[in-house]
Structure 1
Amino acid sequence: MDTAATFDRILVVATRQIGDVLLTTPLVRAARRRWPRARIEVLGFQGTLGMLAGNPDVDATIELPARLGWRGGIAAFRRLWRRYDLALITDVGDRAHALGWVAARQRSGIVAPDESGTPWKRRLLDHAVIAAGDRGIVHTVVEKHALLAPWLDASNPVPPVTAPAAVPLPPELASVLRPGAVVVHAPSMWSYKQWPIEHYADLVRGLIAQGRQVVLTGSSSARDQECIAPLRAMGTAPDLVDTSGQLGFGQIVTLLRQAALYVGPDTSVSHLAAATGVPVVALFGPSNPMRWAPWPAVTEQPINWVQSGGTQGNGNVTVLQARLPCVPCGRAGCEDHRASRADCLPLITPDRVLAEVDRLAPRPSAPA
Structure 2
Amino acid sequence: MRSVLVVVTRQIGDVLLTTPLIRAARRQWPDARIDVLGLEGTLGMLRGNPDIHTTIAMPMRASPVRWLRLFAGLWRRYDLALVADPGDRAHLIGWVAGRERAGLLAAGGGSHWWKRRALRHAVPLAGDLGDVHVVRERLALLAPWQGHAAPESALVGPSGEALPQALRQRLAPGYVVVHTPSMWRYKQWPPDHFRELIGLLALAGRQVVLTGGPGAGDRETVAAMEGAAPPDQLVDAGVLNFNQVAELLRGAALYIGPDTSVTHLAAACGTPVLAIFGPTNPQRWAPWPADGAQPIRFQRQAPKQSIGQVTLMQATLHCVPCGKAGCEDHRDSRADCLMAITPERVAAQALELLARR
Q: Identify the TM-score tier after normalising by the shorter chain.
A: over 0.9
Matches within 5 A, 1:202-281: 202-245=196-239, 247-281=240-274
| Larger CA deviation: 198-207 vs 174-183 | 174-183
Separation of aligned partners in 1, 2:131 and 2:287 = 15
* Equivalent residue runs for 1:289-328 within 5 Å: 289-298=282-291, 301-328=294-321
C-alpha distance after superposition, 1:137-184 (max 9, x if no partner): 010001000000111142324420000000011111111211110000
Distance (whole Å) between structure 2 residues aligned to residue 265 and residue 31 of structure 1: 30
Whichever residue aligns with residue 345 of structure 1, its letter is: L
Partner in structure 1 of residue 277 of structure 2: 284
* Equivalent residue number for residue 164 of structure 1: 158
Given that 1:142 and 1:158 are in contact with CA atoms closer than 8 Å, whether structure 2 keeps it comes out as no
Q: Any residues of structure 2 matched to 1:1-368 within 5 Å, and which? A: 7-245=1-239, 247-298=240-291, 301-362=294-355
One-letter amino acid matched to 1:93: G
**AA paired with 1:154?**
H
Give the whole-Å Cα distance in 2 for the aligned partners of 1:154 and 1:363: 38
Aligned in 2, Cα 1:29/1:124: closer, same or farther, shift over 3 Å? same
Cα distance in structure 1, aligned partners of 2:21 and 2:151: 11
CA contact (8 A) 1:310 1:321 kept: yes
How high is the TM-score relative to the length of structure 2?
Answer: 0.98
Question: Would the alpha carbon gap of residues 363 and 25 (structure 1) be closer, same or farther in structure 2, given more than 3 Å must change?
Answer: closer
Give 3-state SS (helix, strand or coil) of 2:102's partner: strand
Distance between the aligned counterparts of 2:6 and 2:231, measured in 1?
43
Distance 2:157 2:294 in 1: 21
Q: Is the 8 A contact 1:299 1:316 kept in 2?
A: no
Q: Distance in 2 between matches of 1:244 and 1:292?
A: 27
Residues of 2 paired with 1:125 and 1:157: CA distance? 21
Give aligned-pair identity as a percent.
Answer: 56
Q: CA deviation at 1:299?
A: 6.2
1:28-82 CA-partner distances (Å, limit 9, x unpaired): 0000000000000000011010000000000000001111221121111111100
1:118, distance to aligned residue in structure 2 (A)? 1.1
Counterpart of 2:232 in 1: which secondary structure? coil
**Contact 1:299/1:314 (8 A) holds in 2:** no
Amino acid across the alignment from 2:93: L
**Where does structure 1 lack aligned partners over 5 or more consecutive residues?**
1-6
Aligned alpha-carbon RMSD (Å): 1.3
Contact 1:211/1:363 (<8 A) preserved:
no
In 1: Cα distance, 2:158 partner to 2:125 partner: 27
The Cα offsets for residues 169-224 of structure 1, whole Å up to 9 and x where unpaired, read as 11111112111100000000000000000000000111111100000000121110
**TM-score after normalising by structure 1:** 0.95
Quote the offset at 1:313 in angstroms: 0.9
Taking a change above 3 Å as real, the CA distance of residues 323 and 175 of structure 1, as seen in their structure-2 partners, is same
- Counterpart of 2:45, as a letter, is M
The one-character-per-residue Cα deviations of 1:230-264 (angstroms, maximum 9, x if unpaired) are 2022134321100132x111111111111100000
CA–CA distance in structure 2, aligned partners of residues 115 and 244 of structure 1: 42
Moved segments of 4+, more than 4 Å: none
Q: Secondary structure at the match of 1:122?
A: helix
Which residue type is aligned with residue 256 of structure 1?
L
Letter in structure 2 aligned against 1:324:
L
Aligned 8 A contact 2:154 2:292 in 1: no
| Separation (CA, whole Å) in 1 of partners of 2:299 and 2:350 | 21
Rounded to whole Å, the distance in 2 between the matches of 1:300 and 1:12 is 23
